[in-house]
Amino acid sequence: DAGITQSPRYKITETGRQVTLMCHQTWSHSYMFWYRQDLGHGLRLIYYSAAADITDKGEVPDGYVVSRSKTENFPLTLESATRSQTSVYFCASTWDRGSSPLHFGNGTRLTVT
Amino acid sequence: AQTVTQSQPEMSVQEAETVTLSCTYDTSESDYYLFWYKQPPSRQMILVIRQEAYKQQNATENRFSVNFQKAAKSFSLKISDSQLGDAAMYFCAYRTRIQGAQKLVFGQGTRLTINP
């Protein structure tokens, strides 16, 4: 199906574990983004990518790693999960820099125990 | 850095009435884009309306309209004839147009409740 999909939808992990959140889009959008949503903070940008093999840090990148070897995939890895990384994570994509809206996945709720 | 502020954490309105959600932003740029997104309990992020800063005319989408005051850096959302399905979190967002600085900056959100 066309669109942007995230997996898993829910994840529980332990402190110190490595976790990878997946994001896949079928539109061949150039730009992809990872946001985290926390109460009182809205959505904050973790990393973004302008094209395959081009990534850059956002507002809150510490503790996260991204890669983009293919245009359609943009996985987010928590190298050593901490409780402060308990959050809802959204992946998004868009065509260009202008007024094109971001299209969001349905989010992954991650709980770090 | 650009910032977006939504000063109303919660709002409520009677069904069929009109409600306005506030949003202000801080920027030194003259060319940018503004958006309102809706997030219902399903967690899905849904685009409500968008505004290009170079356009003086306020954007409208059916029952949704904005009051864009560029000099005041204000971008409020008006919902007319409120419906139960409008209940959601609403996020205001700013997108810069400058190359190499592509990102959408969000406000903290306003939770809107519709009273039947």
Query: Is it the case that residue A19 has pLDDT exceeding 60?
Result: yes
Nearest-angstrom CA–CA distance, A71 and A30: 7
Q: With beta carbons less than 8 A apart as the criterion, state whether B102 and B1 touch.
A: no
pLDDT at A99 (0 to 100): 73
Per the prediction, chain B carries an average pLDDT of 93
Nearest-angstrom CA–CA distance, A37 and B82: 26
Query: Is it the case that residue B50 has pLDDT exceeding 90?
Result: yes
CB-defined contacts A:B, below 8 A = 50
What pLDDT digit, counting tens, does each position of B8-22 carry?
Answer: 999 999 999 999 999
Chain B residues with CB under 8 Å of A34 CB are none
What pLDDT digit, counting tens, does each position of B59-76 carry?
Answer: 999 999 999 999 999 999
Cβ–Cβ contact A107 with B under 8 A: yes
pLDDT at A1 (0 to 100): 56
Query: Is it the case that residue B99 has pLDDT exceeding 70?
Result: no
pLDDT at B96 (0 to 100): 77
Nearest-angstrom CA–CA distance, B34 and B29: 13
Cβ–Cβ contact B52 with A under 8 A: yes
Nearest CA to B23 out of B3, B38, B42 is that of B3
> Which structure tokens are listed for B49?
């309306």
Nearest-angstrom CA–CA distance, B54 and A56: 28
Q: Which one-letter DSSP state was computed for residue A100? A: P
Verify whether the Cβ–Cβ distance A106 to B44 is below 8 Å.
Answer: yes
What pLDDT digit, counting tens, does each position of A78-109 carry?
Answer: 999 999 999 999 999 998 767 788 899 999 99
Longest dimension (CA), chain A: 40
